[in-house]
Amino acid sequence: MKINLSATLLFIALSVNCNVLGQTSTDQISDNFISYLNTLDNKDFEKSIEYLPIELFEFVPKKQMLSVFEEIFNNPEIIISYKNPKILEIQGPFEYQKKSYALIEYEATLKMKFEFGIEIESKEEKKDRLILQINNIKQLFGDDVVSFDWDTETFSIYEKKNAYAILYNDDPEWNFLVLDESSQQLLSKIIPTVILNRK
């Protein structure tokens, strides 16, 4: 009876410890991911690069990735920012071959404003231009996730996406790979199949 009681207490203690560690891991993933998105919003691209998995640079060199960030976020004709990022769900983490992986579902609002520097245009020309922009953005992102503020001429685009979090044993912070349709082939080269199949 005494042995059974000791075994029960040990099982409870291990269960509690596992739950605490799991919660700490998901909190760290959430904090690191929000920090990553904030580096993009703050245009701190050197820091943004540090949050990307090192395997990515076997296919896209760091300098090229940095140029992509700068081209997108420093384009004088398009003002882009991320607002209200929120983690919806974290699956994992799962350990595999000395790395930890987690699948993140998150939402955020992409703010976008076009600045073409048009000095002379009539009200009708401006209205037609903006309507064309609205139609193009809705066609690109989807009609149901795009709204337009006519006063500020700013688009709000609701995004709900997935990302993989990766933790290397010698790294205190998680790295992230945001998923979209164009990244599926690259994803299979970076994330092990056994982890991809856990979805």
Which carries the bigger pLDDT value, residue 5 or residue 185?
185
User: Is it the case that residue 105 has pLDDT exceeding 70?
Assistant: yes
**Given pLDDT bands bounded at 50, 70 and 90, which one contains residue 122?**
confident
pLDDT, position 152: 92
Confidence tier at 5 by pLDDT (50, 70, 90): very low
Number of domains in the chain: 1
Q: What is the pLDDT of residues 27-76, one digit of tens each?
A: 889 999 999 988 888 888 889 888 999 888 888 888 888 888 888 888 88
Average pLDDT over all residues of the chain: 81
Neighbours of 51 (CB within 10 A): 19
For the entire predicted model, the pTM comes to 0.76
Q: Domain of 151: which CATH number?
A: 3.10.450.100
**Range(s) of the domain holding residue 30:** 2-196
CB 187 within 8 A of CB 197: no
CA dihedral sign, ordered 193, 35, 109, 150: negative
